[in-house]
Amino acid sequence: MVTIKDIAKQAGVSQGTVSNVLNGRGNVSSEKIRLVEEACRLLDYIPNERAKALRRGSGRMLGVIVPPLEEKRHTDFFAGFRAYAESHGYGARLYVLRSDDRDAEEAALREAQSDRVSGIALFSRCRSAQAAAPDGGPAVLYVEHAVPGCRYTIGFDTAEAGRALAGQVLKKGCPSVTLVSASLRFADEAAFVRAFTAAAEAGGCSVHPIATDLRRVRLALLQACQQYTDPVIVCSRLELARAVRDTAQVFLPEPRPVIYCLSPLFTLPEPDFIKYEFDYRLLGNRAAGDLLRILGGEDVPAQRILPGAGFRSFSAPAVRLPAGGALNIVTLDSPAAATLRSMARLYTQQTGVPVNITIYSYDATNEVYTGLSRESVFDIIRLDVTWLSWFADKILVPLCDIDPGAEALLPTFLRGAPERCCRVGQTLYALPASPSMQMLFYRTDLFESAIFRRLYQERCHEELRVPRTFDEYARIAEFFTRAQNPDSPVPYGATLTLGSTGVTGSEYLCRLFALQENLYDGSGRIRLDSEAGILALQQMIRLKDSVQPGGTVWWTDTARAFAQGDTAMAILYNNFAAPLVGHHSRVQDNLGYAMVPGGNPQLGGGTLGISKHSHKKKESLAFLRWLTGEPVASAAGLLCGVAPSMAAYENYDVLGSYPWLRLVRDHFRTARGFRQRPEDSRPFNERQFISLLGIAVKNALSGAMTPQQAMRSAQARFEEAFPEFL
């Protein structure tokens, strides 16, 4: 095994220097860091993270102990548990029992104790806490199965779930049901079985119980079916339900039984079962929080019971259209458009109503919307949120004219979305489709590298950190651009998206809103040639030599370039960020995210309204209710990383895939960048404005104009086109 002494000898430095480099501490020169890292590479040294933690003796580690049979509920629980622990400065370690007995559980607890784990969440299979927990060991929180003698437990209300499932079975008029559960020695299983049986039998439904395990459930079911065949089978575990389904498909005659089950939460539809769902990611999150509060000496309830997510139906309401009728949607080309097509297919499967989706480029959509007339075929129109003010009363029908109850939908959406994506003045014209905001994405492996942190300190005389201003952003971009720093591992330090004049204008406004809150000044006037306006353009020009020549054309190109690993930082609307964690991404394991420099991001994304020329207005609104409501909105969010429903931003399946959505949830409503005062409801032609702004910026980037000349030109064109806003 390679030792620190071996590395020191190979590098020609002291052992103390090696220790400082490996542990990320000490004032070590960039040259010595380089020597140590090269020695580690030559000796094939792999850091032992567990040994590092033990040497530090920090105890900042939490553990989760799960049974030997891997189940989705356990992996979901650990994902939520780890996310909470890491966000609070702790690590998380998973221990899988070697067997399902007391000795294996005690061995896992001893192993965790030897790892100096401070707290443990335990899916216990012992009959008492005294039998499992070692004296003087870490704090133990029992999950789901409360055992005699345990101090803290957390779980779900399985009794309520049993009554709810019984209610569903009784609604179907089922005379008898087979109930498949795990061992009744587990308190959560016993509570579920008692509650289900009592509720079902009180309603006149006979219950045939089978208490078994995953190894024996198939044989137990076949033996039971020799005596009776019930039209419904209810299972207490998803894995039991899957085994029952597979057995029924092979051995049981048609019609096969309908299967109900308790299940972890599925954000995407799974049609084989009728599921009462529990959010185990949320449970893991809460468990980690309770453990940290216990360790901090805070009061924690001895028993915390979380409500279940219940029955989550993707079913669409019945819709009737004339024979051959369809809903026609026009939308901008974006990742959300592909997801919209997937959701539309699901809607068609459920209702029989075809949904046709026409996709146009950014520039073409403006032409289509401007040219809409009574002959238009489109029923639903996807607008950029910044275009809503201009187009709403021209091409959309107020939703409350179709259904006065449409207002009731607004509290379900992402906070801030109704004000920015739905209303113009006091009139509700649209529902949010993909509310998004600009964010900074960066390579954590570069920002956390000891060698690059030291090199940056030596070159710029300041700490390498996530930039908080665009001046810092420019310096870091220059440092990580190979043409300006041969030591950089990437060709470019940053990105600029400069395709159309509209896209270029959007890049510029990101810098402007870091310097001033809104487009207008304190007197309510819009001055593009102000000191802040000129400085924002100068900051953008400075970045020109630190990006791909000419910049990228569209936000999808920016996301692709960053995902390929060629860039240290990128500014991107989050509705285009899903490829950063896609299977082709080279940065998904080293992806950091933060607010844009200045902390005042531009908002973007799409909103969906109904054409005033549509002959299917009620049917269109029914589709929008379904699309933007739960659980469909969360499913769409999991597919493309953006969603209108607030529930999606509290769904740990979605947050686990796109963790930056936490920032969107917390900051979407606080972003400024208003084009006009909130009380001013006059239409603002965003497309015309951002185009004239983009022309000025392009002229300055090319060198045809100075920043001062470009912004004076933009101001003159603005005054000519927007006299009412002077």
Please compute the mean of the pLDDT values over residues 658-685 and round it to a whole number: 92
* Beta-sheet strand order (sheet of 176-181): 206-211, 176-181, 232-235, 258-264, 274-278
Give me the pLDDT at residue 59, please.
Answer: 63
Secondary structure of residue 384 in the 3-state scheme: strand
Do 431 and 479 fall within a single domain? no
* Count of C-beta atoms within a 10 Å radius of residue 318: 10
Percent above pLDDT 90 for the chain: 71
By the 10 Å C-beta count (0-12 exposed, 13-18 middle, 19+ buried), 341 is classed as middle
Do 466 and 570 fall within a single domain? yes
For 235, phi and psi rounded to 5 degrees? Answer: -120, 145
Do 625 and 569 fall within a single domain? no
Please compute the mean of the pLDDT values over residues 18-23 and round it to a whole number: 73
Give me the pLDDT at residue 56, please.
Answer: 43
Say if residues 100 and 68 touch (Cβ distance below 8 Å): yes
Do 332 and 479 fall within a single domain? no
Do 479 and 540 fall within a single domain? yes
> Which stretches of 279-413 are assigned E, i.e. beta strand?
303-306, 327-332, 355-360, 380-384
Q: Please check the confidence at residue 521 and state whether its pLDDT lies above 80.
A: yes
List, as one string, the DSSP characters of 182-200. S-TTSHHHHHHHHHHHHHH
**Omega before 255 within 30 of 0, i.e. cis:** yes
By the 10 Å C-beta count (0-12 exposed, 13-18 middle, 19+ buried), 317 is classed as exposed
The winner for highest mean pLDDT among 59-63, 107-111, 205-209, 374-378 is: 205-209
Say if residues 343 and 631 touch (Cβ distance below 8 Å): no
Can you tell me the distance from the alpha carbon of 290 to that of 180, in angstroms, rounded to the nearest whole number? 32
Read off the pLDDT of residues 88-147 as tens digits, 9 standing for 90 and up.
Answer: 999 999 999 887 777 888 888 889 888 889 999 999 876 555 545 555 678 899 998 877
Do 543 and 445 fall within a single domain? yes
Please compute the mean of the pLDDT values over residues 14-20 and round it to a whole number: 75
The enclosing H or E element of 431 equals: strand 430-432
Please compute the mean of the pLDDT values over residues 443-449 and round it to a whole number: 95
Full residue range of the structural domain in which residue 702 is found:
437-603+685-725
Domain boundary among 128, 151, 174: 151
Which of 456, 507, 518 has its CA nearest to residue 485?
456
Question: How confident is residue 236, by pLDDT bands cut at 50, 70 and 90?
Answer: very high
Give me the pLDDT at residue 597, please.
Answer: 97
Please compute the mean of the pLDDT values over residues 362-385 and round it to a whole number: 87
Can you tell me the distance from the alpha carbon of 96 to that of 80, in angstroms, rounded to the nearest whole number? 17
Do 68 and 147 fall within a single domain? yes
Q: Residue 123 falls within a domain, yes or no?
A: yes
CA distances from 663 to 55, 79, 391, 439, 505 (A): 34, 19, 29, 9, 24
Question: How confident is residue 625, by pLDDT bands cut at 50, 70 and 90?
Answer: very high
Do 243 and 223 fall within a single domain? yes
Q: Please check the confidence at residue 680 and state whether its pLDDT lies above 90.
A: no
Give me the pLDDT at residue 438, please.
Answer: 97
Q: Residue 301 falls within a domain, yes or no?
A: no
Residue 351 sits in a domain whose CATH number is: 3.40.190.10
Question: How many separate domains does the chain show?
Answer: 5
Q: Residue 165 falls within a domain, yes or no?
A: yes
Domain boundary among 133, 151, 169: 151
Can you tell me the distance from the alpha carbon of 443 to that of 477, in angstroms, rounded to the nearest whole number? 12
Give me the pLDDT at residue 49, please.
Answer: 46
Six-digit token pair at 165? 């499932």
Say if residues 134 and 110 touch (Cβ distance below 8 Å): yes
Do 174 and 203 fall within a single domain? yes
Do 453 and 588 fall within a single domain? yes
Which of 319, 689, 375 has its CA nearest to residue 504?
689
Question: How confident is residue 53, by pLDDT bands cut at 50, 70 and 90?
Answer: very low
Which of 307, 290, 310, 286 has its CA nearest to residue 298?
290
Indicate the Cα dihedral angle 144, 150, 151, 154, nearest 10°: 0
Q: Residue 52 falls within a domain, yes or no?
A: no
**Regarding beta strands 430-432 and 606-610, do their DSSP bridges make them parallel or antiparallel, or are they unpaired?**
antiparallel
Give me the pLDDT at residue 685, please.
Answer: 93
Please compute the mean of the pLDDT values over residues 577-586 and round it to a whole number: 93
By the 10 Å C-beta count (0-12 exposed, 13-18 middle, 19+ buried), 418 is classed as buried
Q: Residue 425 falls within a domain, yes or no?
A: yes
Say if residues 657 and 585 touch (Cβ distance below 8 Å): no
Domain boundary among 123, 151, 179: 151
Can you tell me the distance from the alpha carbon of 558 to that of 179, in angstroms, rounded to the nearest whole number? 53
Residue 80 sits in a domain whose CATH number is: 3.40.50.2300
Task: Report the half-sphere exposure of 318 (CA within 13 A, side-chain side).
Answer: 1
Question: How confident is residue 478, by pLDDT bands cut at 50, 70 and 90?
Answer: very high
List, as one string, the DSSP characters of 332-350. ESSHHHHHHHHHHHHHHHH
List, as one string, the DSSP characters of 353-365. --EEEEEE-HHHH
Query: Helices (DSSP H) in 414-551: which residue ranges?
Result: 417, 444-447, 450-460, 470-479, 501-515, 531-542
DSSP 420: I
Give me the pLDDT at residue 10, please.
Answer: 77
**Regarding beta strands 274-278 and 303-306, do their DSSP bridges make them parallel or antiparallel, or are they unpaired?**
unpaired
List, as one string, the DSSP characters of 122-145. E---SS-HHHHSPTT--EEEEES-
Please compute the mean of the pLDDT values over residues 275-291 and round it to a whole number: 96
Q: Residue 648 falls within a domain, yes or no?
A: no
Contact residues for 126 (Cβ-Cβ < 8 A; gap 6+): 102, 105, 132, 147
Read off the pLDDT of residues 697-711 as tens digits, 9 standing for 90 and up.
Answer: 999 999 999 999 999
Residue 34 sits in a domain whose CATH number is: 1.10.260.40
Say if residues 661 and 649 touch (Cβ distance below 8 Å): yes
Say if residues 525 and 726 touch (Cβ distance below 8 Å): yes
Give me the pLDDT at residue 276, please.
Answer: 97
Please compute the mean of the pLDDT values over residues 331-340 and round it to a whole number: 87
Question: How confident is residue 283, by pLDDT bands cut at 50, 70 and 90?
Answer: very high
Question: How confident is residue 25, by pLDDT bands cut at 50, 70 and 90?
Answer: low
Give me the pLDDT at residue 46, please.
Answer: 65
Say if residues 649 and 464 touch (Cβ distance below 8 Å): no
Q: Residue 658 falls within a domain, yes or no?
A: no
Secondary structure of residue 176 in the 3-state scheme: strand
Do 521 and 573 fall within a single domain? yes
Do 214 and 351 fall within a single domain? no
Give me the pLDDT at residue 372, please.
Answer: 86
Q: Residue 679 falls within a domain, yes or no?
A: no
Return the sign of the alpha-carbon dihedral for residues 26, 27, 30, 36: negative
